[in-house]
Structure 1
């Protein structure tokens, strides 16, 4: 999906809390990974899908043996019926669980920062003052890019009001979850589409042309050659994304692209991982088969499972 107004971290040095990255930009396929799913050029998509986006990091510091050892323990947890196999249903459930847990942990972390009066609710004023408070009284006059900050504040307020279903200016935990992760809520669909178009539509004509579509994913540097997947994406744009063949993606086409209601990415990823690792083609995978393909599941970039595996409760 991917993800996100990086100018904020450079500018908001004096603010108590930076704006959470999760609500700055929504990427297509945000439920699994913002990376291109192209196994010929690496398995980062699979790593994040299997382990969760925010957790696909700490294995960078592990040796292959350490990665395999931790993966083996994960497999034991996925195999809930303890029959020695990981079925499609078990793997599908695991991947879905990783995404839900990522969202829950992210909301819990931000909740503590923004619920200033500890009433188990977050008002727009609490969010605004915590995020932008240092500059609000000066109308962002002390900020180098004042227009950018004002636009960010306006966008945050629009999203907060969209998530606030009863319109009382106060977000419950569910409403704050919709604010941080609008792609997970049907009633936020129009906003997700609107923000996506605003982010990619560089000429501000309200729609996305091919150059804007590709430019959002790939911008060559220093005469860098175009990777093969770019041609694939251009083909997808022409054959699948642009359904009315007018050369642009309108709001309806963007909605179908980033929020395809009939596509279960977790289900597709479970099928993909089994297809790639099921050497005896029995429709399920053993620990041996998984560990033989450990680099696809975790490689040297996976998760903070070191923290996961030391937790005392069995929430997984």
Structure 2
């Protein structure tokens, strides 16, 4: 039995690197293709900063479209479903959602209520993702995932002695050791069997305070090219931008250099240590959902009373749920009962 690439690539992406707000990490995509054909590891640029759980993969640019707002408000999968609805259907379902958000039934939606809704939506996404991966790796169906279950399925066909024709075995061994370290960190009782909560910490370490140290370690390993245990400005820029043919640096790269000097290197010693890296990738004063909830209220609050009526939300339905042309080409029939 073989696994196809479109199963394994998203799976590894979910736990290999997380967060997409700003800068860009290097990661390997592990994949096993059908009929045991190996996918070569590749490099992909992702954002390093784990402000909070990502609300959308799209850029937040309301002048271009509202896709970021849609995914922030509905969740990524439900936003796809809404993209297939007529405006009338979207408005009707939005009205039902508003009734759910108004938790105190006072006919108004406040910023805290909207924030609670979005956190629920995106918390559900994490839960559903973990459910899928527990089903994939929990071979003895005991509700937990042992390290042996995970490593055998993830790496057994990559580093096993019987598969001598697999290239880059050393790379995969290093990746497995890195995963094992994260697994041990998530496994609080040290029995190498992850409960559902521990497996969630393994897959989504940005969600758990006790996993922050391992996130910093992984970031440092990716960027620290000279092995001095810190990140200098050249390593910082090199992680997100590689100049070609002596081309001039884009303005955003120059801005990042300034950001490093003024805000990343807090003690001004020319490099970021572990504490400074933690401040960078795991800031405590930034919450995507909080900012987005305030943004939606601000854009829809016509009478500026800092709360929304159902009519104000429906009048601005396009920002919340408006249908858009998509490229998914899917027959999306999913409907959430809770909506």
Question: What TM-score comes out, normalization by structure 2 length?
Answer: 0.73
Counterpart contact for 2:119–2:289, Cα < 8 Å: yes
Counterpart contact for 1:56–1:301, Cα < 8 Å: no
Counterpart contact for 1:37–1:45, Cα < 8 Å: yes
- Matched residue, 2:129: 106
Q: Confirm or deny that 1:28 pairs with 2:50.
A: yes
Question: What TM-score comes out, normalization by structure 1 length?
Answer: 0.78
- Matched residue, 2:221: 198
Alignment of 1:249-268 (within 5 A): 249-268=272-291
Alignment deviations for residues 271-316 of structure 1 (CA, whole Å, 9 cap, x no partner): 222122212111012333334434433453899996343x3xx4x7
Alignment of 1:19-168 (within 5 A): 27-33=49-55, 37-40=60-63, 42-53=65-76, 55-62=78-85, 66-138=89-161, 141-168=164-191
CA RMSD of aligned residues (A): 3.9
Single out whichever of 199-208 and 182-191 deviates more from structure 2: 199-208
Distance 2:334 2:235 in 1: 40
Larger radius of gyration: 2
Shift of 1:226: 7.9
Residues matched between the structures, number: 305
Counterpart contact for 1:26–1:195, Cα < 8 Å: no
Alignment of 1:185-264 (within 5 A): 185-202=208-225, 204-210=227-233, 212-213=235-236, 216=239, 233-264=256-287
Counterpart contact for 1:140–1:146, Cα < 8 Å: no
Q: Confirm or deny that 1:273 pairs with 2:316.
A: no
Highest relative contact order (Cα 8 Å, sep 6+), 1 or 2? Answer: 1
Alignment deviations for residues 55-75 of structure 1 (CA, whole Å, 9 cap, x no partner): 544445555555444434332
2:195 to 168, 172, 185: 172
Shift of 1:140: 5.9
- Matched residue, 2:10: none
Question: Which consecutive unaligned segments of at least 5 residues does structure 2 have?
Answer: 1-18, 40-45
Shift of 1:184: 1.1
Question: Which consecutive unaligned segments of at least 5 residues does structure 1 have?
Answer: 19-23
Shift of 1:43: 4.3
C-alpha change, 1:248 and 1:111, in structure 2 (3 Å) is same
